[in-house]
Amino acid sequence: MNVKKKTVKRGLLPYVFLIVIMLGIFSLFSIMNQKEHVLNYNEFMDVVNDGDVSELTLIPRDRAKVYQVQGKLEGYKENEFFTARIPMSDEVIKRLVDASETQEFTFITEEDPESSSLLLILVNVLPIVLVVGAAFFLVSKQLAGNKSSMEFGKSKARLSSDKNKVTFKDVAGLKEEKEEVSELIDFLKNPKRFQKLGARIPKGVLLFGPPGTGKTLLARAVAGEANVPFYYISGSDFVELFVGVGASRVRDMFQQAKRTAPCLIFIDEIDAVGRQRGTGLGGGHDEREQTLNQLLTEMDGFGENEGIIIIAATNRPDVLDPALLRPGRFDRQVTVSLPDVKGREEILRVHARNKVLKENVTLEHIAKRTPGYSGADLENLLNEAALLAVRRNKDAIGMSEIDEASDRVLMGPAKTSKKYSENDRKLVAYHESGHAVLGIKLSNASTVHKVTIIPRGGAGGYNMMLPSEEKICSTKTDLLEQITGLLAGRVAEEVVFGEVTTGAENDFSKATKIARSMVTEYGMSDLGPMQLEQQEGSVFLGRDYNKSRNFSNEVAHEIDIEMRKIIEACYENARKIIKENRKLLDLIANTLLEYETLTKEQIDYLVEHGKMPEENEETTLEEMSITKLKELAKEKGVKGYSKMSKAELLQELDK
């Protein structure tokens, strides 16, 4: 609180000086605009005797034994006045008093200003104070500007505080990664334990992995667990327009760290400064390369930086300079990958601490439905579910909110205002039912967790098909059945309507990529176990730019033939399964037209009993059919309910 008050006072001081200076300038201009007439004693007495005086002020000057006279004459303008000096005597005063009574002009007598010490100070000292204050203000501003220019090459690394402290308890799903970095903390706390056996602690630890997996959070946890100074900076804070500034900041950062060693330095997004030198489409970048050279020297050069450990994080380790990754600099490289099902459950428990969940919400079930989600994705999922619960005036977050939040994260919000014809709804229902049938009938295919015909994003509907178990490697059968499942939507359209639509565009794109990878990368074709293509990334584009081709035009023709054989075989297999299970296809499609969304539990019940489970008091609005929802809307007096979609009915009934 005191710091804030001091800051406010310092901020107001320049404005106070400015106002005082402006007032002084205005008073000076007003004085300069006045016109003064100086009269001697005789001239003054003449104008008094002639009756020309309209206003008179008498100011005694005791030290000089005279009166200072100031007044106005008839015909003077507002800015005109006269002054005179007359002897200090009673006779003169009497003559002036008599003249004022006979001529009836204003006569004022004031005290000697020199007798007032305060007024004397104001008149004589205040101008000097103003001038000195203005000069001091200007000089201080100039010195401040020079100081900031001198600090241009200073490090922007900030020292971590205990506020919002993060510990390993707040980091879930990274058991092995925490063990790797916990050695750093143990060494800083008890270095003799390691030095006893001749062990040298790594000078640098590089954390890399997909975005949102918790690399920065892990570094913050190291700061929270360690009882040593922790500096943190972004890689982009080093790079500046002027060459040499980045290198200067690196030197200054290590100088600061040496004063507080042992300590930790965390560099986030190090690829901003650590990219490979002398490569890329646009040539080198002199400033960045000088900064990188200085960083390499400080980490492992002639100078020793004892007790300083560097932790860095990046999403693109492939673009980093090899000299940065060699032993002696970043000795240890830790991959922070996407969490598995157990890790996702632990992460959900951390983010669900401050959430109010219903009793039917099972975090284990949510973890199984979210393969490929990072920690940031899971946190966003629960936050979106909480926002939906508030929007729906719920007291707790239920599975319906989590399902909707998952759909929003993957596909975007439901387009309830977009109207589709009944024919379009039927086409989409059979298309999505085709995917569902293949997911049910193929043993190695992904499990159908949800199917809906509610449009989201650019899709008229979608299938949430997740693997039954998470695998490190996929077999040839797995890939073929994935392609078969992707083609099932087009096959269902062709079998039922004898016509095809553009709705399978995304399915074809995915199926073609899998088939080409099988032929050119995985060696799963008659061309044999050869890798004919491999991805090549440009280090400055940050993404796959092209593929290297290690084959002739004749082999390229054979690749096309093999891809076509795979696609056609999967297409025919999908057609066979769809025709054999036409009744199941019709059942799922008609149920979709009635309910618009089916969950895994509902699909399993539908396949086993041939009908949906009976609706009871525990059935939520989202699980009810459109017919039942319209009956409820009629009871509540909702206008236009007969023409509403299920999503619109849910919105009206939630009100």
Active-site residue list: 432
Amino acid, single-letter form, for residue 632: L
DSSP string of 363-412?
A: HHHHHHT-TT--HHHHHHHHHHHHHHHHHTT-SSB-HHHHHHHHHHHHH-
- How many residues belong to the chain? 655
- Cα-Cα-Cα-Cα dihedral sign, residues 597, 603, 609, 614: negative
d(CA 35, CA 467): 98
d(CA 77, CA 479): 104
- Cα-Cα-Cα-Cα dihedral sign, residues 580, 583, 587, 593: positive
Beta bridge partners of residue 36, listed in sequence order: 81
Cα 82 to chain centroid, rounded: 72
Backbone angles phi, psi at 525, to 5 degrees: -150, 180
d(CA 262, CA 534): 45
Cβ-proximal residues to 66 (8 Å cutoff; 6+ apart), any chain: 85, 86, 87, 88
Nearest to residue 53, comparing CAs of 66, 67, 39, 65?
39
d(CA 630, CA 421): 19
Nearest to residue 539, comparing CAs of 272, 335, 288?
272
Amino acid, single-letter form, for residue 127: P
d(CA 56, CA 71): 4
Cα 338 to chain centroid, rounded: 21
Contacts 24+ apart (CB under 8 A), 90-98: 92/67, 93/58, 95/45, 95/48, 96/48, 96/56, 96/58
d(CA 169, CA 182): 13
Q: Residue for token digits 């492939």?
A: 318
Q: What is the dihedral of CA 540, 545, 549, 553, to 10 degrees?
A: -140
